[in-house]
Amino acid sequence: MQPIAGIGTSGQVLTSNGAGALPTFQSISSAVKTVKKQIFASSGTYTPSTGMLYCVAEVLGGGGGGGGASSTASTVSAGGGAGGYSRVTLSAATVGASQTVTIGSGGTAGSTSGGTGGTGGASSLGSLAVGNGGVGGAGATAAGTVYAGGAGGTATSGDLNIQGQGGIYSISLGGASAMVVPGEGANTMFGAGGILSPQLGSSPTATAGVAATGYGAGGSGAIGASKAGGVGAGGLIYITEYCSQ
């Protein structure tokens, strides 16, 4: 075995240079010493912490709103889709002095006239990662009809881009086994979609949709007559920083 050339001094660490190469002493100032985080639930500016070497940014769009149910009794509407998710690893040089943070709002509730839920807003870290909002669930204007849940939002620009989960469709059954099942809002790993319990019987109680909780999830559908859907949850940006101090 060959001896290691030189002796390390204060402020240096012994660093591997890969198979077949001797390790060398390098300045510890370029090594990761601390891990920090910055979390954004509202729009603003990301300014890296002092000594940030690189970071991992997770960007989530806003969730879609649940559909509303019209004045016709026993109408039942669908749930909103979840926001798209983008994850990216960024060097300090790529981030620069700062980046604009945009957080997408949750989609609005579908109206009591049977309106479709609003689409969630897009979240972004400059142009480095984008999570688009989930689509609102379909509103219900007639009983005994199935309505489609909103599609999940897309994502772009990251190393990993995942479309959000779609909202759940509604079910309305008549006859001897009468039942209405409002569509659930889609979940994310940072939030839970709204859920409104099914009802049995030919005369269900009119009930408004349930709002999503957490971040990026969709609101639930409603049971009419004349009930609004659930509101979607706003987006999120979670940045993990690896710093030299």
Q: What is the pLDDT of residues 98-157, one digit of tens each?
A: 999 999 999 999 999 999 999 999 999 999 999 999 999 999 999 999 999 999 999 999
Write the pLDDT tens digit of every residue in 70-103: 999 999 999 999 999 999 999 999 999 999 999 9
Q: pTM for the complete prediction?
A: 0.88
Tokens of 65: 């709103």
Q: Fill in the DSSP letter of residue 5.
A: S
What does the alpha-carbon distance between residue 27 and residue 170 come to, in Å, rounded to a whole number? 61
Model pLDDT, residue 75: 95
Domains of the chain by residue range = 1-31, 33-245
Beta-bridge partner residues of 100: 45
Mean pLDDT of the chain: 92
Q: Which two tokens stand for residue 214?
A: 């957490």
* φ, ψ at 94 (rounded to 5°): -70, -40
Q: 3-class SS at 113?
A: coil
pLDDT digits (tens, 9 = 90+) for 220-240: 999 999 999 999 999 999 999
> Quick check: helix, strand or coil at residue 52?
strand
